[in-house]
Structure 1
């Protein structure tokens, strides 16, 4: 029996072995340590190497982020077809169809995995994309329809499990998740949250969502100038540390999550081939 097992192991192709590349498992539970906000600032080009067991998050624009792994996988959220002047072909893109600033009908066919956050009207969609180093999954939520009604399951909260972390992107969220949706999301170590206060959910609802998710790091997105951003920050300062990163990027690892829930303010910047 041992000889037969060894024979089958030797027959595995390199492609099969690559597909089975392991990742540090994530249970959506944050480990806490002290933090100096400056430790997260990334001033180098977005495409420099990422340290092992780290994830780089770069705020591109609006609700679009680049999530880059130490193995060189590139994921872009709320992909519109443009990320800047850098010649980047992401490995994975996610999209939501609230507005054209969150999706494109014509993603580059060279992108291996294009994941829409919606399916047939009212039916939603399910994604569970396992690339070895990163697992991408989604939780469907409702969205406003073009006729001021509601499209059931028309938005997706995407969750990226990588380097032991659970990283969530709330998309164009239009209501507080119900208990079943909260359970499906799990505990997010890092969450990108829309804080415009009107086009998505109102600020009191978003603050309640963030409090319940209990994320170690919150990254505001979908804000339209410092007035709306500061309104959100002002409402959160009592329970959250606020760190102005001073740039578009930060590196995150499981062993350096803050002991106190922290809002990391990133300033969006298009991807360029060379950055100072």
Structure 2
């Protein structure tokens, strides 16, 4: 961002954003029913920092970004108690930059030992708590999507990465699993979503295997969060037990194309 970042917003824009996010929150609460209320992450990629400031000023704290430099730039001017979620693909050469954001709450897309090790080396000593990570699982098996193989499977790469982070990366914490569902499944609300079912099965199997291995400090199944559900399918995801939903367009409107 070459130009200075403005945090000023109009009352009309603030009103629209609050109305939008309140509607999403209401839908989340209805879908959750009497069950646990999942976290709502407002995905603000390619949106001005002023939009984030407007929602911050009415109490929202969790915001998601897809591009590391954009998140870094925004984090430098916005309040330090925002909880940033990085939800884009993190290239290994950007790991140090990601780790420099002290209020990065979670990296939702971890899928390699290399990035885990680079983050571990790059976490500054000033950070008071471990950086949360979700292991990204490619539940739909699409070649175009990143992520680890789901469980149960003969491919134990999800287990291997979880064990590696738990035992070799004390500055990281495995908080749960994340998936980006297929377009087809996400736009068919009348059927159970196979990606969400797959992620739940992976969590169950992962917790079981970690327990069987006796991995010290490994989370139990009920301690592993599930990040699943976006603008098109978050209500279904909540009903399926999502711990965290990522909603952008429903809150901020359509995004401009990235230059």
Shared fold (TM-score, shorter chain, > 0.5): no
Instruction: Please identify which structure carries the higher helix content.
Output: 2
Greater strand proportion: 1
State the structure with bigger RCO (CA 8 A, min sep 6), 1 or 2. 1
TM-score of the aligned structures, taking structure 2 as reference length? 0.38
* TM-score under structure 1 length normalisation: 0.37
